[in-house]
Amino acid sequence: MVGPAPGGKTSRLREAAQKILERCPHRPRMALLLGSGHASIAGQLREKVSVHAEDLPPGVGLASPLLLGLLEGAPVAVADAPIMTLETGVEVTLLVRLLRALGCETLIVTAGAASLSPQIEPGSIALIEDHINLTGAQPLRSKSDEHWGPTFPDMSEAYSPRWLAVARDVAMRAGVPCLPGVLAAVPGPSMPTRAEYRFLRQIGADLVGMSMVPEVISAVHAGFQVLALVGVTQHALPQRPPAEASIEAMIEAAELAAPRIASVLVGVVAEGQKLLD
């Protein structure tokens, strides 16, 4: 089991991971934190084991059930992606570290975001190559951080190039629209203003969302290889006349993107086994 010397929250996480592994016949090497495509992936798991907060030591911070099972024959752990407007960076970090303590080596995260690029259409998938953290959240503010990773983790290559290549190939074979992009993460829950959209585009963002980045920071610190997929919910183009955000249109685009993300996830997990062998 991955993990540092016992002490405080670290000790509880290691104890929680041991309890989970005792219940699950397969040890996961890939973890999925899903804000999009969760229902589809959960329905495809075989030999599924559900773990709830009451099954674990107090203070572990499991806000929703953690699922373990086989996806395309590969042992995986699946959880709901945290909502940063509602959950603190500490809770995000605890969940990521629990997945690492289970022995997972790769973390795949999904979320929804608005496109700032004319080339990235609503309903498509974006592969995150880099991010800009404007949330104000820094999940590594903890005295025990050094037990899980370096005090100053290098974020210059937060998203694994080889996993990006796998996802790109899978999407291409499946005929799923998929382009790379840089994600700007903002606090929310309000949408950005017109001036903020222009600013985000000028500083290099292709997409803007309200989640994903804090868990990626925690994951890189803990030694994960990270892949991030975004379902594009709407266009927010600074160069076009502004249009009022339609919740109905956003939901429609999200519903189109979700099965596409699930399809790519299944293919990535199947191909990813070869990378981990």
> What confidence tens digit (pLDDT) does each residue in 43-86 have?
999 999 999 888 888 877 677 889 999 999 999 999 987 665 44
How many structural domains comprise the chain? 1
Q: For residue 97, is pLDDT > 80?
A: yes
Instruction: Show the domain range for 30.
Output: 9-276
Q: For residue 38, is pLDDT > 70?
A: yes
- Mean pLDDT over the full length of the chain: 85
3-class DSSP state for residue 117?
coil
pLDDT in tens, 249-259: 666 666 778 88
Q: Which residues contact 146 (CB under 8 A, 6 or more apart)?
A: none
**3: in domain:** no
**2: in domain:** no
Q: For residue 146, is pLDDT > 90?
A: no
Q: How confident is the model at residue 87 (pLDDT cuts 50, 70, 90)?
A: low
Q: How confident is the model at residue 11 (pLDDT cuts 50, 70, 90)?
A: confident
Q: For residue 4, is pLDDT > 50?
A: no
**24: in domain:** yes
Gyration radius from the chain CA atoms: 18
pLDDT in tens, 213-232: 989 999 999 999 999 999 99
**256: in domain:** yes
pTM across the whole model: 0.90
Looking at residue 148, what is its pLDDT? 81
Q: For residue 8, is pLDDT > 80?
A: no
Please check whether residue 182 is in contact with residue 130, taking contact to mean a CB–CB distance below 8 angstroms. yes
Give the domain CATH number at 118: 3.40.50.1580
pLDDT in tens, 106-145: 999 999 899 999 999 988 999 999 999 998 878 877 655 5
State how far the Cα of 1 lies from the Cα of 81, in Å rounded to an integer: 23
**4: in domain:** no
pLDDT in tens, 195-215: 999 999 999 999 999 888 989
How many Cα atoms sit within 13 Å of 86 on the Cβ side?
Answer: 4
Looking at residue 1, what is its pLDDT? 43
**1: in domain:** no
State how far the Cα of 45 lies from the Cα of 69, in Å rounded to an integer: 5
Within the chain, residue ranges assigned H as helices are 9-23, 38-44, 89-101, 145-148, 161-174, 194-202, 213-222, 247-276
Looking at residue 276, what is its pLDDT? 78
